[in-house]
Amino acid sequence: MNVLILSAGTRNKIVQYFRRALEGRGQVIATDMSPLAPAIYEADTHYIVPRMTDPGYLDVILSVCRGEHIDGVLSLIDPELSFLAAHEADFAAVGTTVIGSSYELCEMSLDKMEMFRWLSAHGYRRACSWDDLGEFEKALVAGEARFPVFVKPVRGSASIAISKVEDLETLRLLWAHDRGLMVQELLDGQEIGADVYIDMVSGDVVSIFTKKKLRMRAGETDKAVSFKDPELFAFIDEFVSEAGYRGQIDIDIFDVGGEWYISEVNPRFGGGYPHAYECGVDHMTLITENLGKCANGKCIGAYEEGVYMMKYNDVLICRDGDLES
């Protein structure tokens, strides 16, 4: 059984964990467009590929799938999730399963206003959001909005180009330079991260790991502590099942005065997933079971509370002969 990880970048731990899960029975192949992406050197085999937007990108990846007899493929970046889902039939034709959610859900998760509208329509608490500056100003006058707020790209990821804005003058200035922005209510509460696996055979939510985020850096959880709350598990199960996600997802939730607000969903491994894995929550093995057409049993909350994760920097050293152009 072989797994292909696209856009591996700096996600070394994810590659390492898949290699552990497949040890003795398969290989991990990784790709990236840069030979300076350290995670590719953790794989059994790696390929330098074109940029995802290149017209020939699909053919290159399908060629890797055929040549390496890939059973399952996944990506670690948001824009590529929709690409994989849109070409699910092409991958199936070469014997490769796309590990992830549907195209519609990947697109909704990437588009923060679409996610806001879905959450609103289905009765979930969420941060109030506006993609029309005039409507936000009306809400401000009516007392339905207040500063500070977050301004972010509607279709952004990794917390790129997010600004905390304290006044209307600054907001108007940002809006004048980029019309692809939205305004989002600032939620004042404890941020929670949930790593969730939805079985690709049964469709059931089979694993949930939750952590309280203690510090963020560059859009990812830098320090966190594991905790359990059966009511939160039930809330996550209900939301995920209603939305229809599949495979690995990462959910950002806020606890505001004892009420849960859903902030974002990333239908992929989140940057904080190693915390879950090191607590014994092994979603790589769940994936390999599904690729073998076996359903997984439920193991929700099967981990220890009070375990802290603290990220730190490490380095990978390569010499000229080890790099590919």
Q: Are 300 and 193 part of one and the same domain?
A: yes
For residue 303, what is the domain's CATH number?
A: 3.30.470.20
> Which domain covers residue 178, as residue numbers?
128-185
Assigned domain for 112 exists: no
Q: Are 201 and 291 part of one and the same domain?
A: yes
Strands 181-185 and 163-165: what pairing? Answer: unpaired
User: What amino acid occupies position 101?
Assistant: S
Q: Are 17 and 95 part of one and the same domain?
A: yes
Assigned domain for 117 exists: no
Q: Which of 166, 185, 204 is the last residue of a domain?
A: 185
Assigned domain for 118 exists: no
Closest CA to 120 of 266, 259, 265, 261: 261
Which are the contacts of 71, defined by CB distance < 8 A and separation ≥ 6?
1, 2, 3, 26, 95, 96, 97, 291
Q: Which of 136, 154, 185 is the last residue of a domain?
A: 185
For residue 65, what is the domain's CATH number?
A: 3.40.50.20
Tell me the C-alpha distance between 46 and 41, whole Å: 7
236-242, Cβ contacts within 8 angstroms, sequence gap of 24 or more: 236/194, 236/196, 236/205, 236/208, 236/210, 237/205, 237/208, 237/300, 239/124, 240/196, 240/198, 240/205, 241/204, 241/205, 242/122
Tell me the C-alpha distance between 147 and 235, whole Å: 29
Q: Are 259 and 194 part of one and the same domain?
A: yes
Assigned domain for 136 exists: yes
- Tens of pLDDT along the chain (325 residues) come to 999 999 999 999 999 999 999 999 999 999 999 999 999 999 999 999 999 999 999 999 999 999 999 999 999 999 999 999 999 999 999 999 999 999 999 999 999 999 999 999 999 999 999 999 999 999 999 999 999 999 999 987 655 667 889 999 999 999 998 888 999 999 999 999 999 999 999 999 999 999 999 987 766 788 999 999 999 999 999 999 999 999 999 999 999 999 999 999 999 999 999 999 999 999 999 999 999 999 999 999 999 999 999 988 889 898 887 776 5
**161: region left, alpha or beta (phi > 0 left; psi from -120 to 50 alpha):** left
Q: Are 213 and 279 part of one and the same domain?
A: yes
Evaluate whether 302 touches 208 at the Cβ level (below 8 Å): no
For residue 170, what is the domain's CATH number?
A: 3.30.1490.20
Q: Are 136 and 249 part of one and the same domain?
A: no
Tell me the C-alpha distance between 110 and 121, whole Å: 18
Q: Are 151 and 194 part of one and the same domain?
A: no
Token pair of 299 as six digits: 């193991």
Q: Are 83 and 157 part of one and the same domain?
A: no
Assigned domain for 71 exists: yes
Q: Are 247 and 273 part of one and the same domain?
A: yes
Assigned domain for 292 exists: yes
- Determine how many CB atoms are found less than 10 A away from the CB of residue 315: 5
- What domain count does the chain have? 3
Q: Are 194 and 305 part of one and the same domain?
A: yes
Tell me the C-alpha distance between 195 and 162, whole Å: 23
Q: Which of 99, 114, 147 is the last residue of a domain?
A: 99
Assigned domain for 240 exists: yes
Q: Are 302 and 206 part of one and the same domain?
A: yes
What is the pLDDT, as a whole number, of residue 160? 61
Assigned domain for 258 exists: yes
Q: Are 169 and 197 part of one and the same domain?
A: no
